Structure 1
């Protein structure tokens, strides 16, 4: 019996040693294999929190500085998360075109959870049937080429209100605050398409409160949140960001719920003339069995009212500010417009293809002041390789659009505002619609901004109308502040306030 037990023990001990050495060999081999998979270069960062403190208050600027040291594809340990940053056109192309499908999802974050109805919207939703349905309906009934043509008259009417308001302010000797007027006009344009009504009657406290809410949303959603990168301490809300997001979400939810309730109450008045919300409700299912809930619909309305007003208005404001610094640009734009349009009528959208210098001004603003300095983050579904570097599964991707637009290896004199660069030579055929990675203000690939077409139309038409209709002058004794305020949308730190005096025939402002 003792001999049998000894043999049994020896066998078990032998098996245990065999398993121990095989496991140790496997772990050692895996360690060597992973170590041979070289991550992109980047700063070491701090213990636990990683590179989070290095981003400062202007992450796009700090990341651009780091890229000069570490290269076009840079790795940062952000808390417990891996992040890569692409800072050149080639690097952006590698991620957003070659590896587009692998980076088609968004990472979980507080903004998506607390502001965007737990990612039930179009911006933060996972790439899949629901996202495709939201995107399809938005393109078909609001953001696509045919839909944009159908609501051209709405843009014309609302811009007429804006022009008359500005002329009235001039007659009263008052300056105009550009972002306030732009938010008012754009919110009413979007309101008429979505809800068949203007959402604001006059520029005032109600529209300004809405503008402040939009700016707060874009700012809080754009700031790096410690809890996103160290999930185990997210409950502590160390920066107070999540608490602010929850309060702001309640305000927006009250506003959007009110809009929907009023829309339902006026359904009979729209028979035969459905608006975007009607179409969204009527077509809220697809062949995959995906259906849109009330939460999805609210989330999409939030997307359209916030991103639809803030991103385009910031571009127009930056463009006017740059032109005020460069009066010769305004002079040349006026000469082109007077030649093509004259001074007896307002600019029309059909005039824009005949105004190459205006289009060049818009492109130059998209380059130097992209509305989204860091594209919305994406996350890798599977491990991959870029430029010979290993990118682990679950790595967050950020493309520094701001840095690409100011790269001296891509652009001649990138800090200058020079629209002429787009009229001839090597930059003439560059377009901001996501195909030329030197200029991707709306991103690129599957998750390119759904409102790219609308954004370009609004910027060209509204900016063109403002430049054509008015002469511009700063308030006496003030200097033009060109500082940036970071957020999902890149705002001017100090809103542009100017005198706008009519330069067309008086009948245009009647």
Structure 2
């Protein structure tokens, strides 16, 4: 019995050895995670995250310490993958786009989207696909863009009249708050296209925003700031009830300020259509109310309409205003750049009329200044996060299922491997020849001005147009210089995001005949 069992035991031992060797080989040949810091059991790097604010700068500093363009930071049970390489970004959002097309479920996004009823913040699924079709096929079409042309022109005209009134105001002494001006131009433009009205209230006598518009825009920017801030509850969901970061309280209050103006306007308009008091579509809200499904029933519920309109508002208010403010401060500090932009506008448009959207294709230098602003001074530190639907190998690294993917906007735009003198504002780097038009989108992802792939921005045409007309009107309409007693304006960045640390205050002087500023009234 003992002799006959020996071969069986030997076979078992040999099998175990072979299995172990195969298992070890399999482990040794498995792709590694991207480089990253050591973390504690269970909580990962959450303690480091809590003491290193803002988190976006901490992550970029970590990547510099590890000398890597892709990093893995374990936060709670989540692998956060941060990327500053355009090649790897394209691999994520183009080659493996299908596996990174969804969004993570996080507190601020859930609150802002009313439980993911909208488009931008919603995870993949039937609701996201429905809203994507509505935005791409009904709202952000070339036809609707043309129909809203008059409303955009009205707001561009209002912009130069408002700045002109600031110059005329003896109390202002020619000084203009360009952060106020650019942000409220974007807010006015969005409200005009969506609601058909510039202001929710009466506004101010000089054409500036009233208390209603200030609360509305401030609320939008507050929500956006929390969207990009890493919250503890995003990685340890059971801590959400404690609201350790205060994000739930902050966003809830900001949403009240946004919705107390938007929602009554939507409800009133729906009632007008239901009672037959309105019969013609004049804006995006009318369009959304009248969308029908195959049974000729309303395609969208009231809550879905409100969620989509919120998406439009947060998508249009921040990037154009921030890019224009930064472009202006860089050009004021480098007067030769401002002179070159003025020369282009005088050549293409002249001084007898205001620049129009039809002039945009010929404004290569103005667009190059904007693109350089998007590159060097992005407002948001990251794109809206993506989440991986399966284990994927990207760039030779394992990206585990349910990882958060974030592309670093400043990391891409200031990557020294890609950009010569990356910290210098040089618009000329985007101009290749006189025949090639400068476009603000960069689908090679060397700049993250507008995202690409399944989650790409569907409003590139609108965003590019708003941004270009905003900057072009400011440059064409006025000469700009620093306030009296100063030679240069401080270019320090805000601690929390990519905004200028202090709002840009500059001295304006009209460049055109007075009647030009009021010729479209």
- Whether TM exceeds 0.5 here: the answer is yes
Indicate which of 502, 506, 512 corresponds to 1:504: 512
CA deviation after TM superposition for structure 1 residue 493, in Å: 2.6
CA deviation after TM superposition for structure 1 residue 77, in Å: 0.5
In structure 2, relative to structure 1, the CA distance for the partners of 1:390 and 1:266 (3 Å cut) is: same
Indicate which of 157, 161, 183 corresponds to 2:158: 161
Indicate which of 313, 320, 334 corresponds to 1:305: 313
- What CA RMSD, in Å, does the superposition of the two structures yield over aligned residues? 3.0
CA deviation after TM superposition for structure 1 residue 54, in Å: 4.7
How far apart, CA to CA, are the structure 2 residues paired with 1:471 and 1:258?
A: 41
Could you tell me which residue of structure 1 aligns to residue 489 of structure 2? Answer: 480
Could you tell me which residue of structure 2 aligns to residue 254 of structure 1? Answer: 260
Could you tell me which residue of structure 1 aligns to residue 229 of structure 2? Answer: 223
Q: Please give the residue correspondences for 1:134-149 in structure 2 after superposition, counting only pairs within 5 Å.
A: 134-149=131-146
Does the aligned pair in 2 maintain the 1:81–1:230 contact within 8 Å?
no
Does the aligned pair in 1 maintain the 2:97–2:453 contact within 8 Å?
yes
Does the aligned pair in 1 maintain the 2:215–2:257 contact within 8 Å?
no
Indicate which of 234, 238, 241 corresponds to 2:240: 234
How far apart, CA to CA, are the structure 2 residues paired with 1:445 and 1:371?
A: 21
CA deviation after TM superposition for structure 1 residue 53, in Å: 5.1
Indicate which of 53, 61, 85 corresponds to 1:57: 53
Does the aligned pair in 1 maintain the 2:370–2:440 contact within 8 Å?
no
In structure 2, relative to structure 1, the CA distance for the partners of 1:153 and 1:466 (3 Å cut) is: same
Could you tell me which residue of structure 2 aligns to residue 198 of structure 1? Answer: 198
Secondary structure, in 3 states, of the residue corresponding to 1:484?
coil
Does the aligned pair in 2 maintain the 1:357–1:419 contact within 8 Å?
yes
In structure 2, relative to structure 1, the CA distance for the partners of 1:142 and 1:176 (3 Å cut) is: farther
Indicate which of 401, 404, 407 corresponds to 1:396: 404
Superposition TM-score, scaled by structure 2 size: 0.86
Could you tell me which residue of structure 1 aligns to residue 148 of structure 2? Answer: 151
Does the aligned pair in 1 maintain the 2:215–2:258 contact within 8 Å?
no
- Which moved further from structure 2: 251-260 or 158-167? 251-260
CA deviation after TM superposition for structure 1 residue 46, in Å: 4.3
Could you tell me which residue of structure 2 aligns to residue 322 of structure 1? Answer: 330
How far apart, CA to CA, are the structure 2 residues paired with 1:360 and 1:446?
A: 27
How far apart, CA to CA, are the structure 2 residues paired with 1:273 and 1:217?
A: 30
Partner deviation per Cα, 1:209-257 (whole Å, 9 max, x = no partner): 2222122111122211011112232222112111222222233232222
Could you tell me which residue of structure 2 aligns to residue 188 of structure 1? Answer: 188
Could you tell me which residue of structure 2 aligns to residue 442 of structure 1? Answer: 450
Indicate which of 91, 95, 98 corresponds to 2:92: 95
How far apart, CA to CA, are the structure 1 residues paired with 2:469 and 2:293?
A: 34
Indicate which of 351, 354, 358 corresponds to 1:350: 358
- Which moved further from structure 2: 239-248 or 315-324? 239-248
Partner deviation per Cα, 1:104-159 (whole Å, 9 max, x = no partner): 00011111122221222111112233223322322344433332222122111111
How far apart, CA to CA, are the structure 2 residues paired with 1:215 and 1:80?
A: 29
CA deviation after TM superposition for structure 1 residue 451, in Å: 2.3
Could you tell me which residue of structure 2 aligns to residue 419 of structure 1? Answer: 427
In structure 2, relative to structure 1, the CA distance for the partners of 1:389 and 1:435 (3 Å cut) is: same
The answer to whether the aligner puts 1:263 opposite 2:269 as a matched pair is yes
Could you tell me which residue of structure 2 aligns to residue 66 of structure 1? Answer: 62
CA deviation after TM superposition for structure 1 residue 206, in Å: 2.3
How far apart, CA to CA, are the structure 1 residues paired with 2:189 and 2:138?
A: 14
Partner deviation per Cα, 1:41-82 (whole Å, 9 max, x = no partner): 111134544334555334443333333324222111012211
How far apart, CA to CA, are the structure 2 residues paired with 1:430 and 1:507?
A: 32
Aligned length: 489
Secondary structure, in 3 states, of the residue corresponding to 1:176?
strand
Does the aligned pair in 2 maintain the 1:43–1:76 contact within 8 Å?
yes
In structure 2, relative to structure 1, the CA distance for the partners of 1:497 and 1:299 (3 Å cut) is: same
CA deviation after TM superposition for structure 1 residue 164, in Å: 0.9
5+ residue gaps, structure 1: 1-21
Superposition TM-score, scaled by structure 1 size: 0.88
Does the aligned pair in 2 maintain the 1:485–1:491 contact within 8 Å?
yes
Could you tell me which residue of structure 1 aligns to residue 4 of structure 2? Answer: none
How far apart, CA to CA, are the structure 2 residues paired with 1:226 and 1:359?
A: 39
How far apart, CA to CA, are the structure 1 residues paired with 2:141 and 2:24?
A: 50
CA deviation after TM superposition for structure 1 residue 507, in Å: 1.0
Does the aligned pair in 2 maintain the 1:227–1:234 contact within 8 Å?
yes
Secondary structure, in 3 states, of the residue corresponding to 1:485?
coil
How far apart, CA to CA, are the structure 2 residues paired with 1:181 and 1:266?
A: 33
Secondary structure, in 3 states, of the residue corresponding to 2:300?
coil
The answer to whether the aligner puts 1:112 opposite 2:109 as a matched pair is yes
The answer to whether the aligner puts 1:360 opposite 2:368 as a matched pair is yes
CA deviation after TM superposition for structure 1 residue 31, in Å: 8.7
Could you tell me which residue of structure 1 aligns to residue 301 of structure 2? Answer: 293
Does the aligned pair in 1 maintain the 2:156–2:469 contact within 8 Å?
no
CA deviation after TM superposition for structure 1 residue 323, in Å: 1.0
Secondary structure, in 3 states, of the residue corresponding to 1:446?
helix
CA deviation after TM superposition for structure 1 residue 274, in Å: 4.6
Partner deviation per Cα, 1:161-204 (whole Å, 9 max, x = no partner): 12111111101131222232233332232223222223344223
